[in-house]
Chains A and B, each alone.
Chain A
Amino acid sequence: GDSVTQMEGPVTLSEEAFLTINCTYTATGYPSLFWYVQYPGEGLQLLLKATKADDKGSNKGFEATYRKETTSFHLEKGSVQVSDSAVYFCALIFIYNQGGKLIFGQGTELSVKP
C-alpha cells in the first residue's frame, strides 16, 4: 500500500547547523507531497508542499524538492534556530482518486540547542 517513511529521531543539532530530514514514499500513483510541523501543545501546521515532480516547496527557510526518480521529499534548512524544535511529518495525498486523506510518516523530532 501507499506509505511514507522518515528518518528516525530524535535529531539533535546546535543552533545554525544544517538540517536534513529524509523522507521517502511508496505510492501507486502520483501524489502531492507535504511537510507538516507540530510544535508542543499545538496542532499540525503545513510547512511546505509540492504537487508534481521537480517542484520545490519552501517556507521559513525550509526547502524540499519532489524527486520522482528517487521517490523522495527530503526537508532541508541551512541554519536552524532553537525555535525550529518540533516534530516534523512528511505526508502524501492523492487529491483526485482517494478523497484527499493524508498518509503520514511516523514523524521526526528535532531538538535545537543554543
Chain B
Amino acid sequence: DTGVSQNPRHKITKRGQNVTFRCDPISEHNRLYWYRQTLGQGPEFLTYFQNEAQLEKSRLLSDRFSAERPKGSFSTLEIQRTEQGDSAMYLCASSLEEKYQVAKNIQYFGAGTRLSVL
C-alpha cells in the first residue's frame, strides 16, 4: 500500500494559464475525491468519482474546472484560465466503497498539490 499520490506537489503559474494535477489513488479503491483547501480553512468538497463515473460536482467547481478518471484508476483535475482566487491546496482522497459498511468508507488523503497563481 503506497498511499494516495499527488503530482506535482507545488505548482506556480501565471494568471490565465491552464494547469493540470494528477492523483493516483490506493490501487483497489473504487472512489476518488477532490477537495480544495485554502489557508486557515478546512477542505471543501469539489467532486468525486466511483470508478470512472463522476457522480457529484460541487457548486465550487466552475466551468473552468474539469476532472476526469478515464479508466477508473488515476484522476486529473484541470483548471483553465487560472485566476488568483484559484490559489489553494488541492487534495485528493480515495476510499473503498462497500454499501452499508460505514467502517470501510474511510477516505485516505494524499499530501496535496499547492497551487499559486501569480
Contact B45 A101 (CB under 8 A): yes
Q: Contact size class for B?
A: 20 to 34
The distance in angstroms between the C-alpha atoms of A96 and B102, with both chains bound, is 9
- B33 CB contacts on chain A under 8 angstroms: 100-102
- Check A107 against B42 for contact (C-beta < 8 Å): yes
B45 touches A106 (CB 8 A): no
- A sample of 25 cross-chain residue pairs with beta-carbon separation below 8 angstroms, ordered by A number, consists of A43-B3, A43-B4, A43-B91, A43-B109, A43-B112, A44-B43, A44-B91, A44-B93, A44-B109, A46-B106, A46-B107, A51-B102, A51-B103, A89-B43, A91-B42, A100-B31, A100-B48, A100-B95, A100-B97, A101-B33, A101-B45, A102-B35, A102-B45, A104-B44, A105-B42
The 9 closest A-B pairs by CB, nearest first: A104-B42, A43-B109, A44-B109, A101-B45, A43-B111, A51-B102, A99-B56, A106-B42, A43-B110
